[in-house]
């Protein structure tokens, strides 16, 4: 295969990646974007094999078949509630793959007896360090998201000192590795430090910040892939890794703004810059006003405008199809019924968008926080389903609250607020919500899917 044809194929694959990433920005085109990106990756794999004149494909074909089988099973069997954990695992395995590629590139060079150029050494070390960090950090994020591990921040006395020593050890190891790449002891130490750094990076970050962490770890996995691309001299891997790294850091910035946290605070949270939700103030509790589905129906039936605010509880109850049906019924009765989506609703970026897209909710009905807040006073009813922290008025009412200043969907300004919730338990961030005690709030206790089903039946 000629060099010019290989270069053209690489360019075509890179264009597929770029266009696919662009199409992923909208739910209406995301499926095409995914297919286009997959096509680009298919081209890249075939061309890389031909370019390197690899003649034995048994292991490669076996890996493709096993990966395809696992991917198909995951797509079919993993519930939407577990999608954040799945994304965390994807980030982690991407980081692990980059670590192994960098390690293999170094081993190949050393086995051939050739010298390892300084730039290659730096690329290998970067792929190992960032890839290892992304791997263990993502596994820890998976544990917190799946509630295998506690979601609260884990802090202890002397944490800054311990993490500072780890960083110094990483820098020292980098210097020793650059000076003597043939000494395998420095390589093993680099791998160990990378894995440890990932754990220490995510440990002090609470569950409420997981959307930010997932976006950041996604960026890390992309940067690690780009570094691995430099290590093996593969231009397309550099391009793909750079795209993932850049898009991940942009998404991280968006998530940080949505949670009123600086990027530096997230990056250095391992150095003790985390505010524990458990240290937040106790909310002055008033009287909770429960309401039955039948009474809620009469209010909804008379409403001319309704905004539905979904959260992770909607995913847990698997109620996306029920809420779509309720929205259609309200619309058929001449009521404006739209959805308000907070950027960090759920447990990963875009979680609610994906969930509602599965229920065929039109994209133009999904309003962003900036669109819905200015007109919140005009809504007759705000229906909060499983959301807690993203509608918590403590963010602009209680200065000592850990979430004070965080932009929220201001559901409390609607004429009437229905909160669909199993109990009075606090949300994922562990902060009490004064919305529950507002004069215009009514609590609809129970499973969200069943409650929505009761409301739908009342309209029949």
Residues 209, 364, 389, 439: which is the catalytic one? 389
Which single residue is written with the structure tokens 């910040």?
209
Is the distance from CB of 38 to CB of 31 less than 8 angstroms?
no
What values do phi and psi take at 55, rounded to 5? -100, -20
Pick the closest to residue 217 from 137, 98, 97 (CA basis).
Answer: 137
Distance CA(408)–CA(393), nearest Å, equals 8
Kindly report the number of other CB atoms within 10 A of residue 393's CB atom. 18
What is the H or E stretch that residue 337 is in? strand 336-341
DSSP 221-285: HHHHHHHHHHHHT-HHHHHHHHHHHHHHHHHHHHHHHHHT--HHHHHTGGGT-PPPGGGSPPP--
Maximum Cα–Cα distance for the chain, whole Å? 81
Quote the strand ranges of 100-194, DSSP E: none
Q: Is 389 a catalytic residue?
A: yes
DSSP 139-150: HHHHHHHTTSS-
What values do phi and psi take at 29, rounded to 5? -120, 0
DSSP assigned state of 49: H
User: Which residues are the active-site residues?
Assistant: 389
């Amino acid at each position: 295969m000629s060099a010019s044809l290989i270069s053209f194929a690489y360019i075509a694959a890179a264009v597929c990646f770029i266009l696919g990433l662009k199409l992923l920005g909208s739910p209406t085109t995301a499926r095409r974007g995914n297919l286009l990106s997959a096509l680009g990756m298919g081209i890249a794999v075939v061309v890389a094999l031909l370019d390197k004149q690899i003649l034995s494909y048994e292991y490669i074909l076996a890996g493709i078949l096993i990966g395809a089988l696992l991917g198909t099973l995951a797509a079919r069997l993993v519930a939407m509630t577990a999608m954040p954990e799945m994304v965390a695992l994807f980030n982690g395995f991407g980081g692990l793959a980059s670590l192994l590629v960098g390690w293999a590139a170094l081993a190949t060079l050393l086995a051939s007896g050739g010298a390892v150029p300084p730039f290659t050494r730096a690329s290998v070390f970067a792929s190992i360090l960032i890839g290892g960090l992304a791997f263990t950090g993502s596994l820890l994020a998976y544990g917190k998201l799946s509630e295998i591990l506690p979601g609260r921040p884990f802090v202890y006395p002397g944490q800054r000192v311990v993490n500072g020593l780890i960083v110094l050890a990483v820098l020292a190891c980098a210097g020793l590795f650059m000076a003597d790449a043939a000494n395998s002891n420095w390589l093993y130490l680099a791998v160990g430090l990378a894995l440890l750094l990932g754990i220490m990076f995510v440990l002090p970050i609470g569950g409420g910040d997981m959307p930010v962490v997932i976006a950041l770890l996604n960026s890390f996995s992309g940067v690690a892939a780009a570094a691995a691309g430099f290590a093996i001299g593969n231009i397309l891997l550099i391009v793909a890794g750079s795209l993932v790294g850049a898009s991940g850091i942009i998404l991280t910035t968006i998530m940080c703004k949505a949670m009123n946290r600086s990027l530096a605070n997230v990056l250095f949270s391992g150095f003790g810059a985390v505010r524990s939700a458990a240290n937040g103030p106790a909310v002055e509790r008033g009287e909770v006003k429960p309401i039955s589905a039948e009474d809620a129906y009469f209010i909804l039936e008379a409403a001319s405008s309704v905004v539905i605010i979904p959260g992770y509880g909607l995913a847990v109850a698997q109620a996306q199809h029920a809420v779509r049906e309720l929205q259609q019924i309200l619309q058929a009765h001449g009521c404006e019924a739209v959805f308000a989506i907070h950027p960090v609703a759920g447990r990963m970026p875009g979680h609610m968008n994906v969930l509602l897209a599965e229920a065929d909710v039109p994209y133009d009905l999904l309003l962003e926080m900036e669109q819905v807040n200015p007109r919140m006073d005009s809504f007759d009813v705000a229906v909060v389903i499983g959301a807690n922290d993203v509608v918590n008025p403590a963010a602009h009412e209680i200065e000592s609250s850990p979430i004070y200043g965080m932009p929220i969907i201001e559901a409390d300004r609607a004429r009437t607020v229905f909160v669909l919730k199993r109990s009075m338990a606090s949300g994922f961030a562990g902060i009490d919500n004064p919305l529950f005690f507002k004069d215009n709030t009514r609590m609809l206790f129970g499973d969200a899917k069943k409650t929505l089903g009761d409301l739908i039946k009342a309209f029949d």
